[in-house]
Amino acid sequence: MAKGLAPSELLAARFRNDDERWSAILSRDPSADGQFLYCVTTTGIYCRPGCAARRPRRENVRFHISCEDAENAGFRPCRRCRPNEPPLAERRARSVAAASRMVETAEGVPTLDKLAQAAGMSRFHFHRVFKDVTGLTPRAYVAAYRAERARTALQASRTVTEAMYDAGFDSSARFYAAAPGMLGMAPRTFRDGGVGETIRFAVGECSLGSILVAATATGVCTILLGDDPACLVRELEDRFPRAELVGGDGEFESVVAGIVGLVEAPALGHDLPLDIRGTAFQRRVWEALRAISAGTTASYGVIADRIGSPNAARAVARACAANPLAIAIPCHRVVRNDGTLGGYRWGVERKRALLALEASS
């Protein structure tokens, strides 16, 4: 491999001669997209290297670097692979971004039919594309966004009713029915800083130091790591300033023991009910993190690509730093693009230790 070359330069070096370009056409190599175009003299059409159309005969193929060169030579763009337009993945990402904006700016909740129509796709195709790009179904994205709006509105509005309308609900019955899933508690309880909500918690010890586990009636809402148990309890109090924090009983101690076991033997996985609270973007990131297998890692850039936001690596890093559920949402498996560890909310040494435990399990 050539040294000192950027990835784009390495790709260009691979397709420098016609034999390599023809080989890419035969294999429909996706990495050749954007490196060159091929033109078919018998049809007068030019295509991307990965075009799904029937392959032409080699003697009828000419190569060009750009659409402008191909068109100046008298060729027209293929209607199937549309080489004169952005790549398919980029077009899909733009369609999904437009649908997301439609969700975020609509007064009510757009139906799947309306979202698909705006994207120029069928219901089924749009549903599949949206999930491929964002990691969430359209319905799950709408729910996550409405939950985010509800949390923001409840903190800013004078009344729960005002917050309900600001969040896009037109029925109090629907708002209150959705509240446990969105907020983990009743709307008024959330608005009052968790007042009246009971959160059980316990502090234990593991190979990484002290560990605090807290849970609402919905599921585990907080897992913190640190050196000082008192500091972990204060952090929990700051997160839920008006909730009733109750020391866990024997039954809850078994939950803590299970999470400690997850630290020591991460390959076992877990089926704990979780009460995950975050913005729509954070939830997309955290869902992607949960898909990273124990013993493997992914970069911030890769996670950004997986959630359909390739330019959001820094935002992914911020979402990792905001993760309230250590281990259960494995943000320790995300590293920098160069493979170095990067930061970790609970200390880089703990991140290194966790990855070492996973690699050996």
Active site residues: 47, 331
Non-local CB neighbours of 208 within 8 Å, separated by 6+ positions: 225, 263, 346, 350, 353, 354
Query: Which residue has 């250590």 as its token pair?
Result: 326
Backbone phi, psi, residue 262, to 5°: -65, -35
Question: How far is Cα 272 from Cα 331, in angstroms, rounded to an integer?
Answer: 17
- For residues 215 and 255, the answer to whether their CB atoms sit within 8 Å is yes
Beta bridge partners of 325: 223
First-to-final CA distance of the chain: 34
Query: Which residue has 């008024």 as its token pair?
Result: 188
Beta bridge partners of 150: none
Question: How far is Cα 236 from Cα 39, in angstroms, rounded to an integer?
Answer: 64
Question: How far is Cα 351 from Cα 332, in angstroms, rounded to an integer?
Answer: 5
Question: How far is Cα 272 from Cα 258, in angstroms, rounded to an integer?
Answer: 9
Non-local CB neighbours of 123 within 8 Å, separated by 6+ positions: 112, 113, 116
